[in-house]
Amino acid sequence: MRLYQINYKKLVALLLPTVLRKSLIVVLLQCATTGVRMRHSDFTKERDKHLYRIRHTGQVCYLRAVLNDAFPDRTCDFQIEDSPSTSELVYAMSEIEFPYDQLRIPSEESDYTPVHVWSEDYILIETTPFVVGCPPEVFADTDSMNRVRYLVNRYKLLSKKAVYSSI
């Protein structure tokens, strides 16, 4: 039995003197403790959430368990792996093909708009310690991916960076 599990109905009856243990008095006192019982159930729910948070750390097994618990309706499990050590960085331009003296600098009159051909994920992939592989139905849904990012950021170490991909 847990320390915080209290049966208030039984406690009210046991704390009454034997002379006053009539059914009407017991029921009235049980009704009077309804607010306390509701607060106690809220307390135990929040306590369980905090204990869950404390038990799960940024380790791969715990992070995978948190993600699998958060998305029970999925076709496959989440996969967390180390980032590939041989990754390629995608650059916007090459200095050999486009020397700096021949670069077009956009002026206020021109309709030239710069195009970004790189992503932050590609730039940081050399320093990224892990890749989170998500099930296809989770990866396709924006709300689900936001929830995955939130959970990963909540449990991972601050020095780590995650890249998300579909399985």
Handedness of CA 121, 123, 128, 130 (dihedral sign): positive
User: Which whole number is the average pLDDT over 80-100?
Assistant: 56
Tally Cβ neighbours within 10 Å of residue 133: 18
Residue 61 pLDDT exceeds 80: yes
pLDDT band for position 16 (50/70/90)? very high
E-assigned strand segments in 13-154: 79-82, 130-134
Quick one: pLDDT at residue 127? 57
One-letter amino acid at 22 equals K
- Mean pLDDT, residues 79-96: 60
pLDDT exceeds 70 at position 72: yes
120 or 130, which is more confident: 130
Query: What 3-state DSSP class applies to 8?
Result: helix
Between CA 138 and CA 135 the distance in angstroms is 5
Burial 138-157 (b: 16+ CB within 10 A, else e): bbeeeebeeebeebbeebbe
Distances (CA, A) of 152 to 53, 64, 85, 126, 157: 12, 9, 21, 19, 9
pLDDT of residue 124: 52
pTM to 2 decimal places: 0.60
Instruction: Out of 14-28, 42-56, 66-80, 84-98, pick the least confident.
Output: 84-98
Note the pLDDT of residue 115: 47
Q: H-helix or E-strand containing 61? A: helix 60-70
DSSP state of 21: -
- Dist. CA 136–CA 165, nearest whole Å: 9
